[in-house]
Copies of this chain bind each other. A is one copy, B any other.
């Protein structure tokens, strides 16, 4: 297949690039940190700014939607074409916390362009990737001579993704009628690398919990009592050790029930990616690879469920030693889920598993923080093929397919709206999401604009979900 870029699209984008970047910089200056209650006004300012900008872009409807937390932005631009498919773009306008003292070389909320990169908190995650749709739809109209997009275009840009999207499912349910669509396009992910554009076909789900173990009512002297009473730190550790078997498979009975296994075709496609494990380990800041036997690293992070210890604590953690049997210990565990797994069933499996494993004298409590569902679109889905084609035209090469190991609230859209979720992201692994010196590559950002410009026409022609 050959990809034909559209010179009209390219010319339009080139002509509006400077103004587009000026606008994005203005938005990035708003420190919309949803996890920081002191930034609530900034999150609202960010929503208002975006709604105004979408109106200016041409969306006939652009509203700020209230939640019990931070506000979201909704916009709608009907196609006017009879039978046009409806597409909902998802992104978020809130950002992770950032402070110079975390290791930023410049102020995180004073965007700086240097060597073709735009540095700012939110540059890639997710304001840049939300914003490319504004210029994208204008380029689509300019190049096609249309006055409205070829699809019924809806945008839902939430305001608390970085603080857990606590109110997002309710928001989607409350507005399910207006959000009705044929497919969701999530612009909050990345692609393989600068040279290898890819389309993501799924995300892992997530459920995480805290397990508190209680032993003696207070820390007790290990000389007087040690060796004769159960120690909650020991028991916490024994739980963790029992999470995985010797093959590093999760050993909780029922955990793998329903898991959609990788197809041979997917394994082939993964294996064809220019994956350099040494390089990947550098990105991971890890000095070794370790995971479930029988799967490659990419398969492990994209397509296999996991049980991970995010935190463990108990007893004395200060300098030197302290000869105590601690009174309590705590685990923070997260479970990545893949298609076919059910968060509720996994939570129950974890609860059942813990309950049987603790000795007399150790009481426990488990608190799950919630569950995000996994999502997966089959490779041959027509809308997925449209995304791949649009991206191929922008990048001038055939795109490949990946998955995303992380988890996102996009899956709630899949659930509530009952439609497939597709991913369109141009961020690359070096962009530093959630880290100091987050940036976006300007060339890739403009490829995002171009992809968006091609996508609506392609989807209108080919992409309606079966």
Are A309 and B360 in contact, with the CB atoms below 8 A?
no
Known contacts A234-B243, A311-B322; 9 additional CB pairs below 8 A are A210-B321, A217-B286, A229-B286, A236-B312, A237-B239, A290-B359, A309-B315, A311-B326, A323-B406
Taken together, the copies of this chain in the complex come to 2
A371 to chain B, nearest CB (A): 12
Which of these binds chain B: A138-146, A219-227, A260-268, A342-350? A219-227
Interface membership of chain A positions 181-200, coded 1 if the CB is closer than 8 angstroms to chain B and 0 otherwise: 00000000000000000000
Measured in the bound complex, the distance between the Cα atoms of B407 and A242 in whole Å is: 33
Let me know if A32 is at the binding interface, CB within 8 A: no
Q: Which residues of B contact A228 (CB under 8 A)?
A: 284, 289-291, 297, 300-301
Given A238-B240, A301-B227, A321-B369, A216 and B284 touching (CB < 8 A)? yes
Let me know if A17 is at the binding interface, CB within 8 A: no
Q: Which residues of B contact A230 (CB under 8 A)?
A: 286, 288, 290
Q: Which residues of B contact A404 (CB under 8 A)?
A: 223
Let me know if A316 is at the binding interface, CB within 8 A: yes
Q: Which residue of B lies closest to A190 (CB)?
A: B224
Measured in the bound complex, the distance between the Cα atoms of B203 and A5 in whole Å is: 83
Q: Which residues of B contact A429 (CB under 8 A)?
A: 224
Which of these binds chain B: A45-53, A59-67, A327-335, A389-397? A327-335
Interface membership of chain A positions 63-74, coded 1 if the CB is closer than 8 angstroms to chain B and 0 otherwise: 000000000000
Let me know if A254 is at the binding interface, CB within 8 A: no
A165 to chain B, nearest CB (A): 13
Measured in the bound complex, the distance between the Cα atoms of B405 and A405 in whole Å is: 50
Are A323 and B310 in contact, with the CB atoms below 8 A?
yes
Let me know if A134 is at the binding interface, CB within 8 A: no
Q: Which residues of B contact A127 (CB under 8 A)?
A: none
Given A224-B406, A360-B288, A208 and B323 touching (CB < 8 A)? yes
Are A242 and B240 in contact, with the CB atoms below 8 A?
no
Measured in the bound complex, the distance between the Cα atoms of B237 and A239 in whole Å is: 8
Let me know if A122 is at the binding interface, CB within 8 A: no
